[in-house]
Amino acid sequence: MDATDLCYLSAVEQKALLDRSEVSVVELVDAQIDRIEKHNPHLNAFVTPRYEEARKDAAAADAARANGTARGVLHGLTVGVKDCFATKGLRTTFATKAFENHVPDYDHLVVQREKAQGAIILGKLNTPEYTMASNLCDNPVFGKTRSPYGRDRAPGASSGGSAAALAAGLCSLADGSDIGGSVRNPAAWNNIVGHRPTSWMIPDVPNPLMWHNMNTAGPMARTVADAALFLSALAGPDPRCPVVVSAPFAPGLPDLSIDMKGLRIGWACDHGSLAIEPDVASNFEAQKAVFEDLGAIVEVCNIDLGDIGGAYSTLAYQRVSREVEPAVGRGLDAGLEAQYHATRASTGADLMDAETRRHRLWNDVALAFANHDVLVWPDDPCDPFAYNDEETSQALDWTLLLVSPMLGLPTTTLPCGFSISGSPRGLQVLGRPGMDLLTLQVSHAYEQATQFGQKRPDLD
């Protein structure tokens, strides 16, 4: 098999080849490392490599499979780790100068579970400083990441390195984190799949604000099936997390087949008030026919989202400010430092107002789910901007992405077409808390009907 084709196979397909001994883990890892060395200088997705160690791990994985001791649903697959997740013995900078040379002596729970399920870590992936400083996937330690779908375009944030690496075929899977859209925005802009799970389904351990439920790790992949397989490896309770949310299915690939006949979809583009670029809106509205052809009942379901941004910021920055605290006064991004001090000055009335708005939003969404099985919205209001266009990036309206973290909703983002210039677009499927399997099943049905994710970027 051609090395490029091997690298672009889905993780599920790669795993099948490994299990049948048609490809060795060493061959897969070598092909991906060669591809990283060829394309990463232009993309800047991988920022801290782990190539020689990965090759040793690959040889050990082949030996384990040969002697019958292979373990874990990810055995022999490679993972790129976002540089916000601590990796024992491997530099973790959080993309900030204050931790530029930091080497942790522990793994984040996400990394622990990846390793426990047999994955091979290829290296660390780029992200903005503390994941929140820039919508350009830029930071003072490693600089900017560019999109495989156009080196002049930004890959989205904050898991832009993860999305770019997957879109370029540099790894089998990549993890991301999402406190306001950071798994889903890059997935949409790189023609891949990102799943934000129900809050606490993947425990955030360690966590400086353990009861704060808005930030979560999430699987990123080239297909819905890959994302489901990856989620099965990451999900489930941990004794260090005070909130228990069960895994949505057993480890391994779940049954993603679903009869869409009669499934009720709440459909909304701009919710009556959001500024969606006309061509983005037109592309999204055209997807309604796909769901209807699958047998779903699609009905307009607008929810007032016009004023949730302020409440989101008040709530989200409780966590972000605690996270950045060790870097305050040590060269931290000026915007993050200002936000840290503003959050410290927040009053009880500020928090009460934000929680009141969140409660009202929950009531509206709960009513929508009383009449619909899932909600389907555009992912983003616009197409990717230039990789160095800071002004436009700061003006990006994240409203459509904020509802899921505010309410803990499982949400799958997947490809839904392209602009005239070839920029990928995505839509998101939102479900009730705990209904991760349903959002993945609906997404899988749409994916199979459209095949948008099969298009590769023009790199080779």
Known catalytic residue: 182? yes
- 176 and 202 Cβ atoms separated by less than 8 Å: no
Known catalytic residue: 177? no
- In angstroms and rounded to an integer, the radius of gyration of the C-alpha atoms of the chain is 21
Q: Apex CA 193: angle with CA 302 and CA 18, to 5°?
A: 155
Known catalytic residue: 158? yes
Give the residue among 327, 402, 334, 213 at the shortest CA–CA distance from 342.
334
Query: What is the enclosing helix (H) or strand (E) of 392?
Result: helix 390-394
- 26 and 104 Cβ atoms separated by less than 8 Å: no
Peptide bond into 158 cis (omega under 30): yes
Give the residue among 98, 185, 188 at the shortest CA–CA distance from 136.
185
- 187 and 413 Cβ atoms separated by less than 8 Å: yes
Which of 15, 82, 115, 144 is catalytic? The answer is 82
Which of 147, 182, 321, 404 is catalytic? The answer is 182
208 class by beta-carbon count within 10 Å (0-12 exposed, 13-18 middle, 19+ buried): middle
**CA-to-CA dists, residue 362 to 28, 67, 408, angstroms:** 45, 52, 10
- 80 and 36 Cβ atoms separated by less than 8 Å: no
**CA-to-CA dists, residue 185 to 18, 189, 412, angstroms:** 31, 6, 11
Which of 10, 24, 134, 158 is catalytic? The answer is 158
CA distance 115 to 104: 16
Give the residue among 410, 402, 403 at the shortest CA–CA distance from 433.
410
CA distance 105 to 198: 29
CA distance 75 to 62: 9
Alpha helices per DSSP H over 210-307: 224-234, 278-286, 288-293
Q: Which residues belong to the active site? A: 82, 158, 182
